[in-house]
Amino acid sequence: MRISEHEFIPYQALTAMESGRVLVLAPHPDDEVFGCGGAVMRHVAAGDPVQVVIATDGALGLAADSTDDTLTRQRESRAAGAILGYGAPCFWGLPDRRLEYGEALIGRILETLEAWEADLVYAPSWWEVHPDHLILALAVAEAVRRCARPIRLFMYEVGVPLHPTVLLDITDLRERKQAAMDCFASQLKQQPYARRIAALNCFRTYTLPGTILAAEAFRVMARDDLREDPLRVIRPGEYYTQTASRVMAPSPLVSVIVIDPGGARLADALDSIALQTYPNIEILVVVTRGVGDVDPMPRQGRFVVRTIRAPAACQPARAANLGLDQARGDWLIVLGEDDICFPDHIASLVETLSRSAPARCAYSGVRLEEWVADRQVRTQVLNRLFERPELWGGHEIPLHCVMFARALREEGCRFDEDLDAVHAWDFLVQLSMRTDFVRLDQVSAARRFRCSDATGAFASLDRPESHSLATGGKEKAPEVAPARATAFKKWTAVWSGRDLPDILRHWDAARMRGERLSEELAAQLAACEAALRTLAGENAGLRERLDALEPDARMHSASVLELRRTIDGLQESTSWRITGPLRWVVSRWRGLRSTRAGPRDDPDGLRGQG
C-alpha cells in the first residue's frame, strides 16, 4: 500500500474563506478569538455578515475574589470583537462547565441558525477535552444535521489539535489577532493562552511554504455528510459526553435492550446509543454468545451499561425476554447488532408519546441499507403509516423503530419463544391488541443488511412488502414458513369475527392497488416499446440513406485523392522548380501594384468593382 502525507493534512493554505452569512459559536468568552479569530477577520474583510454567540458566562475562569466575573469577561469579548471588526457578540449566559447535551441546547442552536440564516457555522471540534467545548461541538453538529438548508460546519481547535481539512493563512493578521487575544487579561493572568495559541498557529505552518508564518486549522463538513452516516462522521473517540446530566425534573428512563450474538458490529449499535440527545437511558446488552466469560461492558458515554448473560445457545426470543425482565425504564426499545439509531431517535419517540396519550407505543421511519464489506451499496426509506389490519396480515415494523411502555410487559406482552423465526412480528401484534400505535413521521433509525457481494439478495429493497414476518425483513427459509403458519393459527383463534374481515378487506384493497399499479406500468411499458419501435424504424431509414450515399462518397474520395496526386506531381517537377523565381517576381509585382493603388489613384472608389 502506498500513501502520501497529502492524504492526511493540507499542503497549501487558503487566503480567504468561503463566502456567506457566518455564525460563530463559542463555549466561553475568548474561544471565538483563540479558535477562529483570523477566519472572522477574513470574513469581515470580504463583507460577509458575522454573528458571534458565546454560550456560557465563563464565570469559573476568573479569580475567586472577582466581584463581576460575567461582566468582566463580556467586556473583554466586546473589546476583542471591536478589534476583529464584527461588532459585539451575543451572550447566552449559560452556567460555565454545565452545558448539557440534549434537545434544549440543540433546539436553541437550530433556532439561531435559522434566525441568522447562516450559510457557514463555526464551532469547537469534538476532539476538545473541555466538557463545554465537547458538548457544544456535538450539539452544533446535530443542529447542522437537522438544518433545512445546506449549511457547512467549520470546526476549530483551542485545547486539542484537530485533524484539519482546511488551513487558513493568517500571516498578515497575526498582530491584530494578538491584540484581540490580549483583551482577555483575566484569563492571561492564569495561563499564557495567547502565547500558546500563537504557537499552535505557527505549528500549523509545518506543511506550508516558508513565507506563511501563521495559520488556523479547520475541519470542514457539509450538512449532508452528517445526514448520510452520523456514526462515521461523529466519532470523537472516547470523549463522547462524559459530563453527567443534571436536570431538576428527570426525564422518564428509557431502557434500550441490545441483543449481542457475538458479531463484530455491536460497536455501531452501542455508539449510536451513546450519541442520543435524550438524557436518561440505561443500556442492557444481552450476550448470547454462549462461550467463555463475559466481560463487563464499558460505560457508553454518559449512559450506564448492564450486561445480561444468556444461557448457551439462547435464541433471540429468549434473549429479548431476558432483557424485558430486567428493564427498569418507563419506555423500552429492542435493538439488534445491525440496528442504528440516529441521535434524535429516542428523544423524538419520547416526545411523540408524551403528546399522544393514552397511546403507549410509537414507531418511526427507517432507512434500510445494503452493505457489501464496509461499503454501502443501496438504500431505501420505509416511512409510512402502518394500519392494524396490515400488521395483523403479516407486515412487520422494524422492531428497533418501536418504543413501547414497560407497563405492557406487566400486562403480559412477551416474545413467544415457540415462534423464534417470527417472534418480532408476534410481539408487535401483542402490543397492538393492547394499545394504539402512534406514527412519528421521521426517519430516525437505520437497519444494515450485510451481503457477501454487490449482487447479494436484499429482498427488502427490491420488495418492501417482503419486510414482513421474518425478523429483520429477510426471509429465513425453511424456518419462517412453519413459524408463520403456527403464528397465524395462534392469532386466528384469538381474533374476532370482525377482525378477520378487516384483514381481508385490507389485503383485497392492497391487491387492487397492486393491480392498478401493474396496469399503469404495463401501459408505460407498451408506450416505451412503441417509441422504441418507431426509433428503430427511423434508424433503419437513416441506415438505408447512408448506404445509398456511400458509393458517391467513395467516388468523391477517389477524385480528391487523384487531384492531390496531380498537384504533388506538378510541385515535384523540374519545370515547377525552374519557374519558381518567375512566380516570386510576378507575386511581388502584384503586391506593389496593390500597395500603390489608393484613393488618389481611384478617386471615385471604382477599383475592384466588377
**Do 473 and 433 belong together in one domain?**
yes
Find out whether the peptide bond into 478 is cis, omega within 30 degrees of 0.
Answer: yes
* CATH number for the domain harbouring residue 226: 3.40.50.10320
d(Cα 158, Cα 25) in Å, to the nearest integer? 13
What is the DSSP pairing of strand 304-309 with strand 50-56?
Answer: unpaired
- Mean pLDDT over residues 381-391, rounded? 86
Q: How many domains does the chain have?
A: 2
Considering the domain boundaries, does residue 586 fall inside one?
no
Residues 6+ apart with CB under 8 A from 70: 57, 58, 59, 93
At 123-173, the pLDDT tens digits run 999 889 899 999 999 999 999 999 999 999 999 999 999 989 999 999 999
Give the range among 37-46, 322-331, 436-445, 527-536 with minimum mean pLDDT: 527-536
**Do 69 and 119 belong together in one domain?**
yes
- Of 477, 503, 529, the one marking the end of a domain is 503
**Do 119 and 162 belong together in one domain?**
yes
* Residues facing 340 on adjacent strands: 446
User: Cell for 204?
Assistant: 500549523
**Do 437 and 380 belong together in one domain?**
yes
The H or E element that residue 135 is part of is helix 131-146
* CATH number for the domain harbouring residue 418: 3.90.550.10
Q: Among the residues of 367-498, which ranges form H helices?
A: 388-392, 407-410, 423-432, 459-462, 480-492
Considering the domain boundaries, does residue 574 fall inside one?
no
- Mean pLDDT over residues 480-506, rounded? 71
Report which listed range, 93-107, 490-504, 554-568, is most confident. 93-107
Residues 6+ apart with CB under 8 A from 260: 266, 285, 286, 287, 288, 289, 337
- 3-state secondary structure string across 30-82: CHHHHHHHHHHHHHHHHCCCEEEEEEECCHHHCCCCCCCHHHHHHHHHHHHHH
d(Cα 288, Cα 320) in Å, to the nearest integer? 10
- Mean pLDDT over residues 290-304, rounded? 61
Considering the domain boundaries, does residue 76 fall inside one?
yes
**Do 39 and 157 belong together in one domain?**
yes
Q: Model confidence at 281, in pLDDT bands (50, 70, 90)?
A: very high
**Do 206 and 283 belong together in one domain?**
no
Report whether 481 contacts 402 (CB < 8 A): no
User: Cell for 498?
Assistant: 370482525
Question: Taking all residues of the chain, what is their mean pLDDT, rounded to a whole number?
Answer: 83
pLDDT at 293 over 50: no
Q: What is the pLDDT of residue 143?
A: 96
**Do 307 and 374 belong together in one domain?**
yes
Residues 6+ apart with CB under 8 A from 201: 38, 170, 174, 177, 214, 215, 216
Q: Which structural domain range is residue 54 located in?
A: 5-233
Considering the domain boundaries, does residue 580 fall inside one?
no
Q: Among the residues of 279-329, which ranges form H helices?
A: 316-326
**Do 217 and 322 belong together in one domain?**
no
**Do 300 and 214 belong together in one domain?**
no
- Of 233, 267, 288, the one marking the end of a domain is 233
**Do 213 and 75 belong together in one domain?**
yes
- Mean pLDDT over residues 428-435, rounded? 93
Q: Model confidence at 599, in pLDDT bands (50, 70, 90)?
A: low
Considering the domain boundaries, does residue 25 fall inside one?
yes
**Do 290 and 184 belong together in one domain?**
no
- Of 503, 532, 565, the one marking the end of a domain is 503
Distance of CA 599 to the CA centre of its chain: 76
Q: Model confidence at 546, in pLDDT bands (50, 70, 90)?
A: confident
User: Cell for 397?
Assistant: 415494523
User: Cell for 158?
Assistant: 483551542
**Do 225 and 276 belong together in one domain?**
no
Q: What is the pLDDT of residue 603?
A: 47
pLDDT at 398 over 50: yes
Considering the domain boundaries, does residue 243 fall inside one?
no
pLDDT at 457 over 70: no
At 219-271, the pLDDT tens digits run 999 999 888 877 655 554 433 333 333 334 578 999 999 998 776 678 889 98
Q: What is the pLDDT of residue 7?
A: 66
Considering the domain boundaries, does residue 294 fall inside one?
yes
User: Cell for 258?
Assistant: 441490545
Considering the domain boundaries, does residue 569 fall inside one?
no
Instruction: Give the pTM.
Output: 0.68
What is the DSSP pairing of strand 331-335 with strand 254-260?
Answer: parallel
